[in-house]
Structure formats: structure tokens, C-alpha cells
Amino acid sequence: MADESWWFRFPQMNEDSLRALERAFDDGYADFSGAYGAGIENFFNPLLQFLIWFDDLFTGAPWWLIIALLAGFAWFASRSWKLVAGVTAAFLAIGYFGMWQHAMSTMSMITVCTVLAVLIGLPVGVLMARSDRAQAIITPVLDVMQTMPSFVYLIPIVMLLGIGRVPGLIAVVVYAIPPVIRLTNLGIRLVDREVLEAADSFGANYWQRLFGVQIPLALPNILAGINQTIMMALAMVVIASMIGVQGLGQPVLRAVTNQYFALGLFNGLAIVALAIAFDRMTQAYGRRLQRYRQIAND
């Protein structure tokens, strides 16, 4: 009956061949990273310098200045004293409980990641909205990026670039970029066709259409995407601390490995506070951008 065992056991490929295949894959990639790793690292060196400089800027700035800037941004975004008070209180608490430096590192990292994600994601989203073929190709790539367990793509990045800020940055951006791309695409596709036709009928060229009509009208959606990207970047920063990213993830990682419950909880809550603060600020800003849609009842 041994011949019919395939009926119950999946007729998988030969164990040795499988191992050989995996080894070939690993060796190939190891050769690649051995040959080009240094070059790629050099390529990213300016980025690393920028990250370090930006980190120093945040951690070195006086705490009251940072809080004042954040409160100012909260006011600008929402015109709500409640939000300003909440943001101020959250950051005062983070400082008071001794997590200021880590929180600033995380904030600098999030800022760079978000800016990078928007700089890359926005044009990609525009491209997707413009061509159905681009959409058909990019969508599955985004699906992979979002569902692949993040630990899995940490491996090749670390193999290639080692441990540090740049590989961490790449990992975070890869993980966090899909929402900006998706919502830029969606937002532009949802722009009223008649309004676009009007722009065409007045002789708008491609860029006047894009920057004068499509992006402004898609902005609420794009902002929702940026909001999601920030949230995902915050989540990923903890995981990326495993490969040497500075910030609140470091103490969390230490707490996990040493079973320091309080340390983990405090730093975890600090991440939550950051997330909520940034979420509320970007959402409030998004709503303020849409004021023109509301019908005035005065």
C-alpha cells in the first residue's frame, strides 16, 4: 500500500531537494549581499547621517520647545483647546515618567519614515490612479507588503545591511507605505468626473489637472492614508527595535526578554499616547481641510 500513501500524505517534493533549494536561495542571497552589501550601505550612508542628525535634533532640543511646537501644531490642525490640552498632558507625562529621550527618538524616526513614505507613496498612488495596468501590477505587491509577517522581511534587510537605523527605516517604510499608496489611488479615482471634464474643457494640462483638481479633491483620502501610515509606522517601530532602531521599542524589547512588566507597560503606554496624539491631530487636520464641503446654515 505504500504506493498509495500520496492519497493521505501530500506528495511533497523530496526533503533533500527542498533543503538544497533553500540553501541555493540563501547562498545566492548571501553572495549577493557579500558582493554588493558594502556598496548598498555606502549608498545609504547620507540617509544614515540624516537620521542621526534628525535624532539629535529631537533628543537635543529643549523639552519645553518640543511640547510648545506640538501644542501649536495641535491648535493649527484642530482649533480645539481640548486636543491641545490632551497632547500637552500626554507629553508631560511621557517626560515625567522618564521616557522623554526614547519618545523623541521614536518621534524622529516616525517623522522621517512618514515623510519618506509620502514622498514615495504619493507618486506611486498617482501612477496607479492614472493607469489600470499599473494598478493591476502594484495592488498584489501591496498585498504582499501588508500581509507578509514583518519578521520575514527583516531577515534579508539585516543580511544585506546589518543591524542599525537604515535597515530599520527601510523595514518600517516597507511595512507602512501601502495605506498612502492605496488611499491616494482611491482618492484620485473618486474625484467627480464632471469636475475633471470641466477642468479639461477649460484647457487644463496634465499638471494643472493633477495639482489643481485631483490631488486637492483627493486630499481627505490621502490624509487618511497618511494617518494610517503613521499608525503602522508606530507599530513597526517596536518590531524594528529588534534590529537596532532607537526609541521606545528598545525598553519594550528589554521588558519582554526580562519580564519587566512595569517597564513594558509604561513604554507601551507611551507608544499608545504618541499614536493617539498623532492620530487625532492628523484626523482633525483632515476634517478642517474638508470645511468647504459643509453647507453653511448661517
81 Cβ contact partners less than 8 Å away, ≥ 6 residues apart: 75
Q: Is 253 exposed, middle or buried (0-12, 13-18, 19+ CB in 10 A)?
A: middle
Shortest CB 197 distance to another protein, Å? 6
- Binding segment for another protein (CB under 8 A), chosen from 10-18, 145-153, 194-202, 242-250, is 194-202
Interacting residue with another protein among 26, 27, 31, 200 (CB under 8 A): 200
Asked if residues 100 and 63 have their Cβ atoms less than 8 Å apart, the reply is yes
Nearer to another protein, 9 or 291 (CB): 291
Question: Helix 165-176 vs helix 132-147: angle between axes, to the nearest 10 degrees?
Answer: 120
Which three-class secondary structure state does DSSP give residue 161? helix
User: How many residues touch another protein (CB under 8 A)?
Assistant: 23
Nearest-approach distance from CB 296 to another protein, in angstroms: 4
One of 217, 263, 275, 276 touching another protein (CB under 8 A): 217
Dist. CA 262–CA 59, nearest whole Å: 24
> Cβ distance 90 to 273 under 8 Å?
yes
Locate cell 534590529: which residue? 243
Q: How far is the CB of 195 from another protein (least distance, A)?
A: 5
CB of 125 to another protein, least distance (A): 19
Stretch that binds another protein, among 24-32, 148-156, 207-215, 245-253 (CB under 8 A): 207-215
Contact residues: another protein, CB under 8 A: 192, 194-195, 197-205, 208, 212-213, 216-217, 291-296
